[in-house]
Amino acid sequence: MSLKSSRIDSLRVFQTHRSTANLVEVEVALESLSTIVDVSLGAVSSDQTTVCSESGSSTNVEFLSPTGDVPLLQVNLVDVDSASVQEHVKGTKEDEICSGRGLCDQTTGSCTCFSGFGSSDGQGRKGTLDDCGFVVPIFRCEDGSLDC
């Protein structure tokens, strides 16, 4: 079956109707929720453009932010024969203030990171988020010491 329209509500429930909702439309609908900041949708088949089809299709949804082990999506079927949601990778990132690697100034919401940590992109790489989620690489001298 194909999707007619899609609706995602604040409880992460995906309501489907017959139609052709594409991956971008579903990503935008998910990211419009107050509980989801960033997701990535990917088609399992290289020629797949819609979330559902009469011949069957699979779509991967990766929650990039917020981090942590988020609840599974729920699917409510309307005029669709079947659908399922499976967890392929359990969330392993923490969702803590300043990533648990700094102190938060409650008046500004800014983090002062502990030594060795800095701003990340929300995925552990260097970025502009004031979250202490990036581990700053430690460079050693040729003799193995930290004092070069």
Q: What tens digit of pLDDT does each residue of 6-56 get?
A: 344 434 445 444 456 788 888 888 888 877 888 888 877 777 777 777 777
Residue of 134, 96, 94, 132 lying closest to 114 (CA atoms): 132
Q: What tens digit of pLDDT does each residue of 71-85 get?
A: 888 777 777 777 778
d(CA 23, CA 33): 16
Confidence of residue 5 (pLDDT cuts 50, 70, 90): very low
In the chain, what's the furthest Cα-to-Cα distance? 69
The reported pTM is 0.57
- What pLDDT, on the 0 to 100 scale, is given for residue 94? 66
d(CA 132, CA 101): 6
Judged against a pLDDT cut of 80, whether residue 63 lies above it is answered with yes
Judged against a pLDDT cut of 80, whether residue 110 lies above it is answered with yes
Phi, psi (degrees; rounded to nearest 5) at 139: -100, 135
Phi, psi (degrees; rounded to nearest 5) at 125: -90, 165
Residue of 110, 126, 11, 5 lying closest to 70 (CA atoms): 11
Length of the chain: 148
